[in-house]
Structure 1
Amino acid sequence: MNIIKLDAISSTNDYLKKLMSRQYVENFTIVTAENQTQGKGQMGAVWNVEPGKNLTFSVLVRDFLLDIGEIFNLNRVVAVSIVEALETFQIPDLSIKWPNDIMAGNKKVGGILIENTIKNNGEIFSVVGIGLNVNQKDFSNLPKAASLSVIKGMEFDKQAVFYEIAENLKQNMAAILHKNTLVFLEKYDARLYKKGVPMPFQDLAGKQFMGIIRQVSPTGKLEVIDENEIIRYYDIKEIQMLY
């Protein structure tokens, strides 16, 4: 794989997209930075990291998605790949908080942002941004966040974690190309944060209610059964888990 290592950059996703606009970039090129000053999360949220302590990198994925309706398949593969990689480092209580947060217990340790571009010929290019808290210790302003180091009480070799994730991602994407999508749907749902547990939620109108996560639909909608035993489906940002 082609790896571009940078000291500081505003956003690895933006860097990779600009690079693609100027030249041919081979599939699975990875851009990684020690310091990302304007990291992005889902729906415009900001991903702030302590310089030199964490992993921030972006991966170009091309020739993977053939239809825009399959976009959440990529989300599944990326999330499962990260969790499987972290399991090799014995990180406890790993799960995936829909749609794209990596959890250890009740703490967020990582996140995913996938940005897709559709070319005139219908080809879909995906830039997969991954942020992972590795050795950062101070989360005083982020009470729901933690790092691998905080969780395990030890320092980690960032490069070892990076290569484990990258290799696992590459292998899993190769499996998906052989149309083995059902396996990753099952793996994603099996690791779903708070699945089957009564939890408080809040919808876009601000209404709070109790519900139970059942699964995630093939297109990426969260399936929740509410207190009246009505099954409802939610898109990203249409519902918030109050935990």
Structure 2
Amino acid sequence: MDIIKLNAIDSTNTYLKQLVKQTSIVDQTVVVANTQLSGRGQMGNGWVSKPGQSLTFSLFKAFNKLSVAHQFSISMAVAIGIAHALNQLNIPNISIKWPNDILSAKKKIGGILIENVLEGSCVKYAVIGIGINVNETHFLNLPQASSLKLETGKTFNLDEVLQTILKSVFGNLNNLAKKDFSELKQLYENYLFQKDMVSVFETPETLRFNGIIKGVSDIGELLVATENAPLQKFQLKEVKLIY
């Protein structure tokens, strides 16, 4: 594993993608930024981080014959890996809010942005951006945000948190070829926030409805039971969970 530490950068994902194009980097290369000026989350949302108080980093992972049909397994493996690592650090009530926000006691403490590069019918490699709120204690106008420190009352060593997460995440990614897809999906669904509970959802047209999360499809769609249908499938931009 190669770890590149940078002081300030726009985005670790953007930097790592450029590095892949310009040089021959080794598998499991990690780029860590002390300050990320233009961090990105899902659907173009920004990722706010404070210098020296949070972790913002990106991973490069190459794959050998991982089918495009199973590319959601990357997202599941990363989310599960982070969840397991945070459990090891005794962070309470860890869950995964579909598709890949990391929550502690219903508050967001981490996010994941995965960009896959395809070659034919296979995933050639992935650039995986991860942000974890570690020691922050103030989140202006972000009532659903929290940090490891706020949830535990402890101050954490950033390098120790980073190493724990990297070991867990790369362990999962390296075993993807050996892991049964259905077993991985079951692990992911075990962590799924609000699973089997009545929840409120909102469409892009701001229409709200009640439903019960039942799990995810093989391609990562959210499976929701509603009054009108026993099971509906939703993609990322088609529905938002209100909580």
**TM bin (shorter chain):** over 0.9
State the identity %: 39
CA distance in 2, matches of 1:122, 1:77: 17
Worse-superposed segment, 150-159 or 58-67: 58-67
TM-score of the pair, normalised by structure 2? 0.96
> RMSD of aligned C-alpha atoms?
1.5
1:217/1:65 CA distance change after superposition, 3 Å: farther
Unaligned runs of 5+ in 2: none
Q: Which amino acid aligns with 1:198?
A: V
Please say if residues 201 and 240 of structure 1, whose CA atoms lie closer than 8 Å, have aligned partners that are also in contact: yes
1:231 and 1:182 mapped to 2: Cα distance?
19
Identify the residue that residue 21 of structure 2 maps to in structure 1. 21
Contact 2:98-2:222 at 8 Å conserved across structures: yes
Measured after TM superposition, the shift of residue 175 of structure 1 is: 2.0
For residues 75-98 of structure 1, the C-alpha deviation after alignment (integer angstroms, 9 at most, x for no partner) is 000000000000011111100000
1:45 aligns with 2:45: yes
Say whether the 8 Å CA contact 1:201–1:210 is kept in structure 2.
yes
Paired residues of 1:65 and 1:71 also in contact (CA < 8 A): no
Distance 1:234 1:65 in 2: 27
Q: 1:120 to 1:202 in 2, by over 3 A?
A: closer
Using the alignment, how far apart are the partners of 1:113 and 1:65 within structure 2? 22
Q: Please state whether the residue corresponding to 1:164 is helix, strand or coil.
A: helix
Structure 2 Cα separation of the partners of residues 209 and 27 of structure 1:
44
Alignment correspondent of 1:167: 167
- Relative to the length of structure 1, the TM-score reads 0.96
Aligned residue type for 2:110: G
For 1:89 and 1:66, the matched residues in 2 are separated by 31
What secondary structure sits across from 1:183 in the alignment? helix
Over residues 44-66 of structure 1, what are the superposed CA-to-partner deviations in whole Å (9 max), with x where a residue is unaligned? Answer: 11101111100000000112562
Q: Are 2:65 and 2:122, in contact at CA under 8 Å, matched by a contact in 1?
A: no
Query: What residue in structure 2 maps to residue 196 of structure 1?
Result: 196
Question: Which protein is richer in strand relative to its size?
Answer: 2
**Secondary structure of 1:176 counterpart:** coil
Equivalent position of 1:129 in the other structure: 129
For 1:1-243, what aligned pairs fall within 5 Å after superposition?
1-64=1-64, 66-119=66-119, 124-243=124-243
Q: CA deviation at 1:67?
A: 2.2
Secondary structure of the structure 2 residue equivalent to 1:47: coil
Distance 2:17 2:119 in 1: 13
Gaps of 5+ in 1: none
SS in 2 for 1:237: helix
* Partner AA of 1:18 in structure 2: Q
Residue identity in the other structure for 2:115: E
Q: Distance in 2 between matches of 1:206 and 1:241?
A: 12
C-alpha contact (below 8 Å) 1:134/1:147 kept by paired residues: yes
* Residue identity in the other structure for 1:220: G
Mapped to 2, the partners of 1:63 and 1:165 lie a distance apart of 20
Alpha-carbon separation, structure 2, partners of 1:140 and 1:102: 19
Secondary structure at 1:135 match in 2 = coil
* CA–CA separation in structure 1 for the residues paired with 2:100 and 2:220: 11
